[in-house]
Amino acid sequence: MALTRIGLAGLAVMGQNLALNIAEKGFPISVYNRTTSKVDETVQRAKAEGNLPVYGFHDPASFVKSIQKPRVEASKIFQGDYYSTGSPVDKAQLVEDVRQALYASKICSYAQGMNIIKAKSAEKGWGLNLGELARIWKGGCIIRAIFLDRIKKAYDRNPGLASLLVDPEFAQEIMDRQAAWRRVVCLAINNGVSTPGMSASLAYFDSYRRDRLPANLVQAQRDYFGAHTYERVDMPGSFHTEWFKIARNISNN
């Protein structure tokens, strides 16, 4: 049995194309679908398109068994206690917090997506109407959320909206939910649970709402190792600091 590091279950049109795209980039992939003919169809397409490394399975057990599990080995290495306050968790409150955190993360994901489309539209001169785009999506087969109606209304209110995050209604919803959002992400981190979607969305939100970012520190770091100078916020010009001398003086004292 061939072993892969990637598994994909669900082989409708998008699933098949994704599997073939991954294999085309040189990554072996295991695929499974409840309708076994879809599995055979995908494998046949892979062979026809250059004998791509796509391995099909007709039953879930074999599919799962075919995927390498480096995480299992890593879990044996990285053992130990995570940081935890030891405080009992109110399950009902946690469920509500997760619901609120998911909604806030969803707003951020749509805001990022719309900004990407807006930037590409400006670059290519497409002149896309983002509100109309949301309406068109509503009639599709994948993204049909009621949420899209509210996105359309936001752009109808302000066609030049810089981001959904600054629309008054969405901004208030984010503010109302950010405490729960932070509780969920902190709880996950403290207990060693990976939450890449919620954590990345929260980081995006925190970056977007700051007039100054920690990235300013990069200037000082570049000046430290390469004397590239840095700018200051209290006066114009470029500056350089003898960081090594300062460090030596501190250590000597």
Mind listing the pLDDT tens digit for each residue in 37-91? 999 999 999 999 999 999 999 999 899 888 877 777 787 788 766 666 677 889 9
Number of residues that this document lists for the chain? 253
pLDDT in tens, 104-114: 999 999 999 99
pLDDT value at position 140? 77
Tokens for 70, please give them.
């480096």
Neighbours of 215 (CB within 10 A): 9
How, if at all, do strands 238-239 and 230-231 pair?
antiparallel
Q: What is the mean pLDDT of the chain?
A: 91
At 160, the amino acid letter reads: G
How far, CA to CA in Å, does 160 sit from each of 104, 118, 156? 22, 10, 9
In the predicted model, is pLDDT for residue 22 greater than 80?
Answer: yes
**Which residue has better confidence, 3 or 94?**
94
pLDDT level of residue 216 (50, 70, 90 thresholds): confident
- Give the pLDDT mean for 5-10: 92
At the topology level, CATH places domain 102-208 in N-(1-d-carboxylethyl)-l-norvaline Dehydrogenase; domain 2 (1.10.1040)
Tokens of 71: 């995480």
- The pLDDT of 219-237, averaged and rounded, is 93
CATH of 215-252, one of 3.40.190.180, 3.40.50.300, 3.40.190.10, 1.20.5.320: 1.20.5.320
